[in-house]
């Protein structure tokens, strides 16, 4: 095995540049209300960076981050705060996440210095098979699959909360749902991002009366600065708090979900084709989360832990890091850095498409995909003076062949890009990275009548048909199968198994490239975490073109990369990361987006001035 010649990076080296950020950051916390209309609770200020003690929360939304901080201040731990924050996001970010969806929960236990992961991914009905999205042997139009009962999987989010709280929580679910219940009842202030996301879903929502009544008050788009209330969701949260999350998987609520999926309540006169699904009460009653062994790779002397399949996040980020291990990215020019990053991502996605699916149904060679030996046989494909032609054929981690020539590629299939990620730490040093979703912006578009939440359309993450008929596709639908995901909640530890940073992002398949670029930005390029999150992004997913944000697209750097053979497509924004970082002096730094998706919210329990 070729040994890396790049020196290891210590915790101090990784975080040294962050100290300046911490010193300069204004005191930030949950107790900084901004103006809000009468009838709404005070809206906390939205700040993308916070530094201090006692724990930290970073999410896309200030109300949700404030809920997490409220739990930490009341003595709860990181798991308690993560569940409460996720519930609040179900109110304020209902188009991204909620109890009608699923996700992946990664937890660092400070007492044992170990990382554990929970797979709370949605599952297909027991009746599903590879022809789920086929009609007369051909795939149905994606838009018709997206807005349908056919695309709804059994939700996993409530079960994830139960699993996490049973293992590590200190508070009861009823207590943790109270802030979100209050937020749903009293309302939150509509911002421009929420209004625009509603606008993008307006036609869909109008075709489902329950969605229109909730999200188009008075028949119109919500006005920026107005108060959006969801009394149905408040009652649903109260029910879950009183009866436990089993109420969603059995009984009246379960029957409401099944009735909605099997007979979607479409507006009279609507011309949209809305297919029914085949979800049953048995599918809900038999749902269970899965404990997964986290993925782990060593990188520059650090241990990077991620989510194993059914997510492809941990294996794909891990393989790309292994491919980059032999390159001194710290000393590389910006051109060489991005070239290598793009090519490593291209290769890792080529292997992902061939090998990663639900391990209950597919023989996923996780150990091989994460081996340095396999990465070395793939890394030698990268040349500094030219680009690999894409889509690239996969390698075989079971029998690695150095620089193996072409073959048959399996192009990356489409994934919805609107998910959400939250990152939490507490005063004891526990950390949570939690990515959750309902898939597309607005999920299936179908609200469960009287219950106040949207149903996911997660089953569209399956391949409707094989990506390439000549290559085995591990991501075809099956009975009870979990669709492949790109969610990449990630926790990084130092050589003493102490947390260095944790992060994640929404963005469909671009989640993987966002996490990869942010990690290498901190570890290799010496960026402070807020700067690594804010840096303009590139995303290559084994496709002919690489996506570039405008701040990279409109620069001479694009021209220099194009001279190597890269082709680019301008994309308005890629991902929306959040993260937390443990500084050498014991403070926590929380960071979120400055502008993407309207900017995020970072908060700490006690701002930098004291413990």
Contact 336, 384 (CB under 8 A): yes
Interaxial angle between packed helices 173-186 and 78-92, expressed in degrees from 0 to 180 and rounded to the nearest 10:
30
Question: Among residues 157, 315, 419, 435, which one is catalytic?
Answer: 419
Q: From residue 204, how far is each of 142, 209, 381, 463 by CA, in Å?
A: 14, 10, 45, 23
163 catalytically annotated: no
Nearest Cα residue to 222 out of 210, 231, 214, 232: 214
The tokens for 427 are 């005063």
Is the Cα dihedral 207, 209, 214, 219 positive or negative? positive
438 to 99, 145, 409, 446, 454: CA distances (angstroms)? 9, 14, 29, 11, 8
Burial 30-39 (b: 16+ CB within 10 A, else e): bebeeebeee
Q: Over 244-287, what HEC string results?
A: CCHHHHCCHHHHHHHHHHHCCCCCCCCCCCCCCCCCCHHHHHCC
Cα–Cα distances (Å) from 261 to 202, 266, 397, 444, 457, in that order, read 20, 11, 40, 10, 11
Let me know: does 510 contact 541? Beta carbons within 8 Å.
yes
SS3 500: strand
Q: Which residue has the tokens 């202030």?
A: 189
Q: Which residues pair with 104 in a beta bridge?
A: 119, 435
- What residues have CB less than 8 Å from 477, skipping those under 6 apart? 124, 128, 129, 130, 131, 132, 133, 459, 462, 483
Residues 6 or more apart in contact with residue 563 via CB below 8 angstroms = none
- Identify which of 429, 497, 489, 498 has the alpha carbon closest to the alpha carbon of residue 55: 429
Structure token pair of residue 501: 């940073």
Tell me the Ramachandran region of residue 574: left when phi exceeds 0, alpha when psi lies from -120 to 50, beta otherwise.
beta
Provide the CA 560 distance to its chain's centre, in angstroms.
Answer: 32
Residues forming the active site: 419
């Amino acid at each position: 095995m070729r040994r890396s010649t790049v020196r290891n990076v210590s915790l101090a080296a990784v975080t040294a540049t962050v100290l300046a950020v911490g010193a300069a950051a204004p005191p930030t916390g949950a107790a900084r209300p901004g103006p809000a209309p009468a009838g709404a609770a005070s809206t906390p200020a939205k700040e993308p960076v916070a530094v201090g003690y006692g724990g930290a929360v970073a999410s896309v939304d200030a109300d949700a981050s404030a809920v997490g901080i409220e739990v930490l201040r009341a003595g709860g731990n990181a798991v308690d705060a993560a569940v409460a924050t996720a519930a609040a996001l179900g109110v304020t970010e209902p188009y991204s996440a909620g109890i009608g969806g699923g996700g992946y929960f990664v937890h660092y236990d400070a007492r044992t210095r170990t990382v554990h992961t929970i797979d709370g991914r949605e599952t297909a009905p027991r009746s599903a098979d590879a022809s789920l999205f086929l009609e007369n042997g051909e795939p149905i139009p994606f838009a018709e699959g997206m807005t349908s009962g056919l695309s709804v999987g059994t939700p996993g989010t409530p079960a994830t909360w139960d699993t996490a709280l049973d293992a590590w929580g200190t508070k009861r679910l009823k207590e943790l749902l109270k802030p979100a219940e209050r937020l749903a009842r009293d309302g939150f202030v509509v911002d421009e991002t929420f209004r625009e996301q509603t606008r993008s879903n307006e036609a869909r929502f109008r075709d489902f009366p329950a969605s229109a009544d909730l999200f188009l008050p008075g028949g119109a788009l919500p006005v920026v600065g107005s108060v959006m209330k969801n009394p149905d969701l408040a009652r649903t949260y109260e029910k879950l708090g009183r009866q436990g999350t089993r109420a969603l998987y059995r009984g009246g609520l379960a029957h409401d979900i099944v009735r909605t999926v099997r007979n979607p309540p479409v507006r009279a006169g609507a011309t949209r084709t809305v297919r029914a699904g085949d979800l049953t009460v048995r599918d809900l009653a038999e749902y269970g989360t899965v404990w997964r062994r986290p993925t782990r790779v060593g990188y520059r002397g650090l241990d990077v832990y991620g989510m194993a399949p059914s997510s492809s996040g941990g294996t794909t980020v891990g393989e790309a890091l292994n491919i980059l291990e032999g390159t001194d990215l710290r000393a590389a020019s910006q051109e060489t850095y991005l070239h290598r990053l793009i090519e490593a991502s291209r290769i890792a996605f080529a292997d992902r498409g061939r090998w990663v699916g639900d391990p209950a149904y597919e023989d996923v060679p996780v150990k091989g995909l994460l081996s340095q030996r396999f990465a070395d046989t793939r890394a030698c494909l990268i040349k500094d003076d030219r680009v690999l032609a894409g889509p690239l054929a996969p390698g075989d981690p079971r029998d690695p062949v150095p620089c193996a020539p072409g073959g048959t590629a399996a192009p990356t299939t489409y994934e919805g890009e609107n998910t959400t990620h939250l990152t939490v730490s507490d005063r004891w040093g526990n950390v949570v990275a939690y990515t959750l979703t309902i898939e597309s912006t607005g999920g299936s578009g179908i609200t469960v009548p009287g219950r106040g939440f949207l149903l996911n359309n997660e089953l569209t993450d399956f391949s409707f048909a094989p990506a390439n008929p000549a290559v085995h596709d591990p991501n075809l639908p099956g009975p009870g199968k979990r669709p492949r995901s790109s969610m990449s909640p990630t926790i990084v530890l130092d050589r003493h198994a102490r947390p260095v940073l944790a992060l994640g992002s929404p963005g469909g398949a671009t989640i993987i490239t966002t996490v990869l670029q942010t990690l290498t930005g901190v570890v290799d390029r010496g960026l402070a975490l807020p700067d690594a999150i804010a840096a303009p992004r590139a995303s290559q997913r084994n496709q002919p073109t690489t996506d570039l944000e405008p701040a990279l697209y409109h620069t001479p750097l694009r021209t220099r990369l194009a001279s190597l053979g890269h082709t680019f497509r301008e994309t308005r924004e890629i991902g929306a990361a959040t993260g937390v970082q443990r500084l050498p002096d014991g403070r926590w730094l929380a960071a979120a987006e400055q502008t993407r998706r309207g900017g995020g919210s970072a908060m700490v329990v006690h701002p930098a001035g004291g413990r």
